[in-house]
Amino acid sequence: MEDVYITKSILHILDSQVGLPVLSEKEHPKSIETEFFLGEHLKRLMEDSELKECVFLQDRDNPVREILENYQQDPARFLSMSKDLAEKLFEYMTKNPEVPSSDLAVVAFHHKGQEYLGVLKFNYKQTFTHEVDHQDEGNINSIIQYQRTIASINQRIDEGFIVNLNDLKILLKEKKVKINDEKVFYLSQKFLLCKGKPSDKEKMAIINRTNKEVLKKHYDNDFKKTTDLKRAMVENFTDSEELEIEEISEKVFRDNPEARKDYREAIEKRGLTEPKVKLKPKTSEKLMKKQKIITEEGIELHVPVEYLDDRKVKFLNNGDGTIKIEINDITSILNK
Q: Are residues 156 and 294 in the same domain?
A: no
Number of H helices, E strands in the chain: 9, 17
8-35 burial string, b = 16+ CB within 10 Å, else e? Answer: bbbbbbbbbeeeebebbeebbeeeeebb
Domain assignment present for residue 41? The answer is yes
pLDDT under 70: residue ranges of the chain: 1, 147, 284-290, 308-310
Q: How far is it, in rounded angstroms, from Cα 239 to Cα 196?
A: 27
Beta-strand runs (E) in the chain? 5-14, 52-56, 102-111, 114-123, 125-135, 138-149, 159-164, 170-173, 177-179, 182-184, 194-196, 242-244, 276-278, 290-294, 300-304, 313-317, 323-327
Closest CA to 242 of 198, 286, 284, 196: 284
Shared-domain flag, residues 17 and 166: yes
Clarify whether residues 156 and 290 are in a common domain.
Answer: no
Domain count for the chain: 2
Q: Measure the CA–CA gap between 156 and 204, rounded to whole angstroms.
A: 20
Give residue 72's pLDDT: 96
CA distance 26 to 11: 9
Same domain flag for 231 and 181: no
Whether residues 192 and 212 share a domain: the answer is: no
**What angle do the packed helices 200-219 and 223-240 form, to 10 degrees?**
140
In the prediction, which pLDDT does 114 show?
95
| Residue 322 placed within a domain | yes
For residues 65 and 57, what is the distance between their CA atoms, to the nearest angstrom? 9
Note the pLDDT of residue 174. 96
Separation between Cα atoms, residue 209 and residue 262, nearest integer Å: 13
- 64/174 same-domain check: yes
State which of 197, 216, 243 marks the end of a domain.
197
User: Is 55 in the same domain as 143?
Assistant: yes
Phi/psi at 290 (nearest 5 deg)?
-125, 155
Asked, for residue 333, whether it belongs to a domain, the answer is no
What is d(CA 263, CA 257) in angstroms, rounded to the nearest whole number? 10
The string of pLDDT tens digits covering residues 116-131 is: 999 999 998 877 878 8
pTM for this prediction: 0.81
Q: DSSP letter at 328? A: -
Q: Is residue 159 part of a domain?
A: yes
Eight-state DSSP code of residue 201: H
Cα separation, 332 vs 168, whole angstroms: 55
Helix 200-219 and helix 257-269, axial crossing angle in degrees, nearest 10? 150
Residue 334 belongs to some domain of the structure: no
Structural domain containing residue 113 = 5-128+139-197
Q: Given this model, what pLDDT does residue 286 score? A: 67
- Is 75 a domain residue? yes
